[in-house]
C-alpha cells in the first residue's frame, strides 16, 4: 500500500474492522506489536527522511516532535494514577531540556489550545475527574504539545456522544488551520469523512483498494467495496431493510489468491479469484484496484 499526505491536508482512511487501518498507523510510528509483527520492507518518508531506516533512539525523537497519534479510547490512553499535569509534563519533557516552570507553562498552554477551561486548575486533576470529551481533549493536547507536522487520529470520536464529537472535530480543524498540521484520520463514519477530509483511502484486507478526493469518491465510487460501504450507510428516506455486506474480511494470515474482496463481491468473475487487480488511474487522480475497471474485464 502507498499514500501521500501534504502539509495542511487531511487524509481519511476508511474500512471495516480488521482491514489494517490501526496497524498501518502503528507501522508509520514503528510501534507494531512485537514479536508478532515486524516491518519487513518499504519506506516511510517524512521531511525527506526514511523513518524505517533510522535507529530506535532517533525514532523516539521523531515521535511526538514530528509525528504523533491520538488513540481512540481516552480511558485507556491516560494513566489513572497520574495527574493530567504529570502526563503532559512527561510528553513535553521528552523533547528538549526545559525547567519545571517552563514545562508547566507549556502544559497550561497546550490545554488552552484544545479549549480546556481553567487549564491551570485542570493540571491537578486525575483522568477519572474528567468527562470523556475532556479526556479526549487532553489526549489531543499531548499529541500536539511538541508541535508535530503530522497527527494520526485513530477513531478519536468513537467514545464521544454526537454533540461532543462535533465540537472535537471543529477543534481539530481549528488547530490544523492555525498550524498547518497534516492529519491522517482513521474512521468508520462517512459523515466524518465528508466533514473532515480532503482525500480518502479505502482499505480492505491490508490493501488500499481506492483513493480519491472526497467529492469524487462520494459522487462516483469506483470499487465494489466502496460502493457497498456507502450503501450500508443508513439514509433518512430509506424505509426498506438496511443493506449489509455479506461475510467478513478475510484473516490476514489466510488471504484469498486473487482480489481479496472477490468472495464477497456480487460482480466477481474467475479472473478476480485468481489474480489481484492492478491499480488504475481515472479522472482527477482517482485510483482504484478492480478488474471491472480493466480492459480484461470484457474478455
151 pLDDT exceeds 90?
yes
pLDDT mean over 165-192: 90
- List pLDDT tens digits, range 214-257: 999 999 999 999 999 998 888 777 677 888 888 889 988 888 88
Question: What pTM did the predictor assign?
Answer: 0.89
Region for residue 131 given its phi and psi (left: phi exceeds 0; alpha: psi -120 to 50; beta: otherwise): beta
Sign of the dihedral through C-alpha 73, 203, 67, 133: negative
Q: What angle do CA 161, 166, 169 make, to 5 degrees?
A: 115
Q: Which three cell numbers stand for residue 131?
A: 468527562
10-197: CATH topology is: Rossmann fold (3.40.50)
- List pLDDT tens digits, range 36-55: 888 889 999 999 999 999 99
pLDDT at residue 95, rounded to an integer = 67
Confidence of residue 96 (pLDDT cuts 50, 70, 90): low
Query: In the chain, where does DSSP find H-type helix?
Result: 21-28, 56-62, 74-77, 84-93, 100-113, 119-122, 132-144, 162-179, 190-196, 214-219, 224-231, 270-274
298 pLDDT exceeds 80?
no
pLDDT at residue 286, rounded to an integer = 95
Give the residue extent of every domain in the chain. 10-197, 222-298
User: Which burial class, exposed, middle or buried, applies to 59 when counting CB atoms under 10 A from its CB (0-12, 13-18, 19+)?
Assistant: middle
Percent of the chain with pLDDT over 90: 52
Average pLDDT of the chain, as a whole number: 89
User: Which burial class, exposed, middle or buried, applies to 298 when counting CB atoms under 10 A from its CB (0-12, 13-18, 19+)?
Assistant: exposed
Amino acid at each position: 500500500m502507498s499514500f501521500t499526505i501534504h502539509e495542511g491536508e487531511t487524509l481519511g482512511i476508511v474500512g471495516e474492522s480488521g482491514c489494517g487501518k490501526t496497524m498501518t498507523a502503528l507501522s508509520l510510528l514503528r510501534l507494531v506489536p512485537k514479536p508478532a509483527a515486524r516491518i519487513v520492507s518499504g519506506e516511510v518518508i517524512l521531511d525527506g527522511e526514511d523513518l524505517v531506516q533510522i535507529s530506535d533512539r532517533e525514532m523516539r525523537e521523531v515521535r511526538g516532535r514530528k509525528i504523533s497519534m491520538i488513540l481512540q479510547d481516552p480511558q485507556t490512553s491516560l494513566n489513572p494514577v497520574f495527574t493530567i499535569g504529570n502526563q503532559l509534563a512527561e510528553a513535553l519533557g521528552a523533547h528538549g531540556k526545559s525547567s519545571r516552570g517552563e514545562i508547566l507553562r507549556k502544559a497550561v498552554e497546550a490545554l488552552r489550545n484544545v479549549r480546556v477551561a481553567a487549564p491551570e486548575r485542570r493540571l491537578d486533576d486525575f483522568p477519572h475527574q474528567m468527562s470523556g470529551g475532556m479526556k479526549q481533549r487532553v489526549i489531543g493536547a499531548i499529541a500536539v504539545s511538541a508541535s508535530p507536522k503530522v497527527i494520526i487520529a485513530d477513531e478519536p470520536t468513537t467514545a464521544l456522544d454526537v454533540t461532543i464529537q462535533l465540537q472535537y472535530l471543529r477543534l481539530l480543524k481549528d488547530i490544523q488551520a492555525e498550524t498547518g498540521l497534516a492529519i491522517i484520520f482513521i474512521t468508520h463514519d462517512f459523515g466524518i469523512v465528508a466533514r473532515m477530509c480532503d482525500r480518502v483511502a479505502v482499505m480492505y484486507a491490508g490493501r488500499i483498494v481506492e483513493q480519491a478526493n472526497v467529492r469524487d469518491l462520494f459522487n462516483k465510487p469506483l470499487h465494489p467495496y466502496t460502493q457497498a460501504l456507502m450503501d450500508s450507510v443508513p439514509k433518512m428516506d430509506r424505509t426498506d431493510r438496511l443493506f449489509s455486506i455479506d461475510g467478513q474480511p478475510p484473516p490476514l494470515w489466510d488471504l484469498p489468491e486473487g482480489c481479496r474482496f472477490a468472495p464477497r463481491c456480487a460482480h466477481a468473475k474467475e479472473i478476480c479469484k485468481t489474480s489481484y487487480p492492478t491499480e488504475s488511474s481515472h479522472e482527477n487522480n482517482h485510483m482504484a484496484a478492480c478488474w471491472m475497471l480493466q480492459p480484461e474485464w470484457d474478455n
